[in-house]
Amino acid sequence: MGKKIQDRKLDHLKISLEEDVQFKEKTTGLEGISFKGVDLSYKTLPELDKREIKLEIEFLGKKFKAPLMVEAITGGVKEAIKINKDIAKACEELGVGMGLGSQRPMIEDPKLAETYEVRDVAPNIFLAGNIGVTEVGKHSAKEIEKAIEAVGADALAIHLNAAQAAMQPEKETDFKGRLKEVEKLVKEFKKPVYVKEVGHGIGFETAKELAKTGIKAIDVGGAGGTSWTALDSKRGDKSIGETFWDFGIPTAESVIQCRKAFDGKIIASGGIRTGLDCAKAIALGADICGLALPVLKAQEKGGSKAVKELLEKIIEELRIAMFLTGAKNLKELKGKAIVKN
Ligand SMILES: Cc1cc2nc3c(=O)[nH]c(=O)nc-3n(C[C@H](O)[C@H](O)[C@H](O)COP(=O)(O)O)c2cc1C
């Protein structure tokens, strides 16, 4: 069993680095270059000194220097050790958050904990542990908590991945009763729990149901970036994968719908590629933004230094976008989005 999951994790790294696994036609909605999408309201005379713009934010009890996190990518295989440490080091230097990949492999084989270990290089960052929703009922809150504590995580992200699972050759598609399992876990868990999609979005109805479980945040994981129906169908039925390649709720729409349904924190992710994307998502109602695939690619190319450069660029772009809307802090950025239908 353990070996099979590890093979899957390696396939994910290899396929996402070597093949085209991003949405083809569907976009996040954040680009705003056509008549549809999201633009920022340009304050032509901002009456601001760009250097004074404040990006700091508190998120689930941790201080961030900028509203950004690297989303869950990997763990459980030896290749993950360097990837996770390189990413974590860059995040620590910039004061932004990070998510670890699914901890299912280490729950099944605790020796694998070292493949997730980043606290030696990143003692201060917000760090999220990770587990799939279909695993939640199979393991007790205590077991999952132990895995979170072993890596020093501040919170648990539960990933919802029905679209991905439907493509996987492993066919782990029993999603019945999961809402109750999430609710039960949240009650028993000491650390904050939040829920994330992996790239196909969370809509109003699901967000409303999740809101009742007591979760602290929703990471929308919207459509427009990495497509998991594409990625995982490359390990299974490629033809079905083509049909569902662009399936899901675009990130911009998902942020809007989740904000309407849920009072807690919102992470905008799925195709966030620039600081301008991030600014638009925050203007729509998100609190922070996250990205995965570009970070993995940067890490492969140039290690921690390249990851840091990528994140620094995104942070600078966000600052510029705020300058151009006349927002001197993240609170003032809210509501500066123009949604074009
Ligand atoms: C190679 C790879 C592995 C991933 N593994 C996980 C995972 O274990 N758990 C999870 O919640 N999300 C996982 N994700 C999904 C990301 O956290 C993120 O939600 C998704 O890739 C969309 O963001 P992006 O468009 O910026 O890549 C993974 C992404 C990549 C590229």
Query: Which residue among 133, 226, 267, 299 is best mutated to probe the pocket of ligand 1, counting the most ligand atoms within 8 A of its Cβ?
Result: 226
- Atom 3 of ligand 1, nearest CA residue: 73
Q: Look at residue 61 and tell me whether its pLDDT is greater than 90.
A: yes
Mean pLDDT of the chain: 95
pLDDT greater at residue 237 or residue 124: 124
Fold of 2-23+60-317: TIM Barrel (3.20.20)
pLDDT in tens, 295-310: 999 999 999 999 999 9
**pLDDT value of position 90:** 98
Q: Is the CB of 29 under 6 A from ligand 1?
A: no
pLDDT greater at residue 330 or residue 7: 330
pLDDT in tens, 34-55: 567 899 999 999 999 999 999 9
Contacts of residue 174, Cβ cutoff 8 Å, sequence gap at least 6 = 134
150 alpha carbon to ligand 1 midpoint, in Å? 21
CB contact burial 84-109 (16+ within 10 A = b; e otherwise): bbbbbbbbbbbbbbbbbbbbbbbbee
Q: Is the CB of 213 under 6 A from ligand 1?
A: no
Over residues 257-286, the mean pLDDT reads: 97
328 alpha carbon to ligand 1 midpoint, in Å? 31
Q: Is the CB of 196 under 6 A from ligand 1?
A: yes
Q: Is the pTM of this model over 0.85?
A: yes
Segments in the chain forming alpha helices (H): 2-18, 79-94, 104-108, 133-136, 141-151, 162-167, 178-188, 204-211, 228-233, 238-244, 251-261, 275-284, 293-325, 330-333
Q: Look at residue 340 and tell me whether its pLDDT is greater than 90.
A: no
**pLDDT value of position 5:** 85
- Atom 4 of ligand 1, nearest CA residue: 73
